[in-house]
Amino acid sequence: MKNEPAAALVLDFGGVITKTMFETHDQTEKALGLAPGTLGWKGPFEPETDPLWQAMSRDEITERDYWLRRAGEVGEIVGEKWDRMDAFVRRARGANPDAIMRPEALETIGKVRDKGLRLAILSNELDLFYGPEFRGQLAFLDDFDVIVDATYTNILKPDPRAYAFVTDALSLAAEDCVFVDDRPGNVKGGVAAGMRSVQFDVLCPRSSFVEVLAHFGLTLD
């Protein structure tokens, strides 16, 4: 790993820039007209409440499988058929997207941008989960030099080609990039690709962003 500060920040989207769906159950329930506590699955926050999450953690199902199952279940509760994740997300989060952004993420993005460094997103399902209309509501995305979304490339992390899409687009060496993701397998993929990689902890987001900014010689306020 280089000792000098990094030149680019490469972020996963869901869970890193946005709060997880688990953290915003109350907002989802309100948006869908559900009674508080209707959504009892809490993923990494209370794994014992969520056998499906445990199955995903054991790699028995994919992350896409997990969320498509949850979308279908919630759709049934509200009397609709949701066989696509974006149907769930649009209804649950589309009314006020700013409310689901992590303030620490936006501060981190701003600090890296203000230093004149590069910004990229590497997501497995940005538009698949959120829909392209959602992206248009987020002005801060205009600050990003590159957005690589496997919704369109069909090359998912941790495939080495996914990381190469970013470094090629930025014209940077992998070791000049700091990659941040909340999925351990994707972080291992970043390490294998040669990126400085940070395992984002959704339970301690601030600590994770402190670690991220240290690679750029920056601090979180």
pLDDT given at position 86: 87
Cβ(179)–Cβ(203) below 8 Å: no
The CB-side HSE value for 220 (13 A sphere, CA atoms) comes to 18
pLDDT given at position 131: 85
What tens-digit pLDDT sequence spans the chain (221 residues)? 567 889 999 999 999 999 999 999 999 999 999 999 999 999 999 999 999 999 999 999 998 899 999 999 999 999 999 998 888 988 888 667 888 999 999 999 999 999 999 999 999 999 998 888 888 889 899 999 999 999 999 999 999 999 999 999 999 999 999 999 999 999 999 999 999 999 999 999 999 999 999 999 999 99
Strand locations in 85-169, DSSP E? 118-123, 146-149
43 CB neighbour count, 10 Å cutoff? 21
The token duo for 161 is 């080609």
Strand locations in the chain, DSSP E? 8-11, 118-123, 146-149, 177-181, 196-199
pLDDT given at position 94: 66
pLDDT given at position 96: 78
The Cα–Cα gap between 204 and 209 comes to: 9
CATH topology (fold) of 8-18+101-214: Rossmann fold (3.40.50)
The Cα–Cα gap between 179 and 174 comes to: 9
Domain boundaries, the chain: 8-18+101-214, 22-97
The CB-side HSE value for 38 (13 A sphere, CA atoms) comes to 20
